[in-house]
């Protein structure tokens, strides 16, 4: 069976690869709960531990989302039935499908078979395959609607992230130092009173900002921020100087943020010093700024709905 996967970064096959595993699980005629179907089908499909642990932006497991999409298509095709809430069983049509498609589906085959059952899709008598293809977007069967939304958001955030990183690199050093202080405050540091400040400038002794870690200010996090171009990576010597500055303040915790990256030697050094130093490179910095809405604003908000099964019980 083809282990279809549209996203090379994901170890989870797209939904057509789960069609036959789901039917195999139900083949003996048992009525199984959705969760039991998921567990058994994932095993038949040979999902790795990494694949089972992948999550969506919403927090759910990716493989369960795609298995759920496979269940939806199977139900629309009447290859499975739902005799009670959350429980499934195979139909005669499903058994026929196991005989007809013993090797499973690649995407093109799944598209051809299930297109007539998609919402607002053409009927079987709609004409040629070319005519049907015009009515159904080419990527409609690759991801389920939730994943299509999340994929679109990821692409938007990638574009915004590039622009955000460019602007930070071109900003004044004072602005960048204040931006990273604002970020840590947005992440929840600074205590109940949000106490944090930029202290960079002449005579800053190697520290650009300081933030209270707890409500009473009993412990503090010291900040160093370097606004570097891509490829101008932070060296071990620079981190050593930062650790020295921390010792000068009697501090044990520090965060070093940059718009570039860190050399392997710099990363290795931080794991061997007594002070707790967290390194945040440009990629992670941008991801955190988008997550905590620092330097960005929400343009549109959409809500996704589903049938409330409890309403009908």
Q: What is the pLDDT of residue 127?
A: 41
For residues 197-215, average pLDDT: 72
pLDDT band, residue 271 (cuts 50/70/90): confident
Kindly state the percentage of the chain with pLDDT values over 70.
Answer: 82
pLDDT digit string, tens, across residues 217-233? 667 889 999 999 999 99
Residue 15 has pLDDT above 50, yes or no: yes
Residues 102-115 pLDDT 10s: 989 888 888 889 88
Nearest to 195 by CA among 178, 180, 214: 214
Angstrom distances, CA of residue 138 to CA of 15, 115, 134: 15, 11, 8
**Residue 87: enclosing H or E segment and its boundaries?**
strand 87-90
Q: Are strands 253-258 and 209-212 parallel, antiparallel or unpaired?
A: unpaired
* % pLDDT > 90, the chain: 47
Going edge to edge, which strands form the sheet with 220-226?
Answer: 196-198, 209-212, 220-226, 253-258, 276-280
Mean pLDDT of 167-196: 85
> What pLDDT was estimated at residue 125?
38
* Residue 100 pLDDT greater than 90, yes or no: yes
pLDDT of res. 313: 56
In 8-85 the beta strands, taken as DSSP E runs, fall at 32-33, 80-84
The two structure tokens encoding residue 256: 């070093």
**What's the pLDDT at 3?**
38
pLDDT tier for residue 290 given thresholds of 50, 70 and 90: very high
**Which residues lie closer than 8 Å to 174 by C-beta, 6 or more apart?**
198, 200, 201
Q: At what angle do helices 173-186 and 282-291 cross, to 10 degrees?
A: 50
Element (H, E) at 210: strand 209-212
Total-model pTM: 0.63
């Amino acid at each position: 069976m083809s282990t279809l996967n549209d996203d090379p970064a994901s170890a989870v096959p797209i939904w057509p690869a789960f069609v036959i595993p789901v039917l195999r699980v139900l083949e003996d005629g048992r009525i199984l709960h959705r969760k039991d179907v998921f567990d058994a089908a994932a095993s038949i499909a040979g999902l790795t531990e990494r694949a089972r642990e992948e999550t969506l932006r919403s927090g759910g497991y990716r493989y369960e989302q795609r298995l759920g999409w496979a269940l939806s298509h199977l139900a629309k095709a009447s290859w499975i039935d739902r005799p009670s809430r959350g429980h499934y069983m195979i139909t005669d049509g499903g058994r026929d499908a196991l005989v007809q498609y013993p090797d499973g589906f690649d995407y093109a085959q799944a598209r051809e078979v299930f297109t007539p059952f998609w919402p607002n899709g053409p009927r079987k008598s709609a004409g040629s395959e070319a005519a049907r293809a015009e009515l159904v977007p080419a990527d409609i069967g690759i991801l389920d609607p939730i994943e299509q939304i999340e994929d679109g958001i990821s692409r938007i955030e990638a574009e915004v992230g590039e622009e955000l990183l460019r602007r930070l690199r071109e900003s004044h050093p004072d602005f960048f130092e204040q931006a990273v202080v604002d970020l840590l405050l947005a992440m929840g540091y600074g205590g109940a009173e949000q106490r944090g400040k930029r202290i960079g400038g002449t005579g800053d002794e190697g520290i650009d900002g300081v933030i209270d870690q707890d409500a009473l200010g009993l412990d503090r996090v010291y900040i160093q921020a370097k606004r570097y171009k891509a490829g101008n990576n932070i060296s071990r010597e620079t981190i050593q100087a930062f650790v020295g500055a921390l010792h000068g303040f009697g501090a044990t915790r520090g965060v070093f943020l940059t718009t570039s990256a860190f050399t392997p030697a710099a990363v290795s050094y931080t794991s061997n010093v007594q002070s707790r130093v967290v390194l945040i490179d440009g990629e992670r910095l941008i991801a955190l700024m988008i997550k905590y809405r620092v330097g960005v604003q929400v343009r549109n908000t959409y809500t996704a709905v589903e049938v409330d099964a409890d309403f009908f019980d």
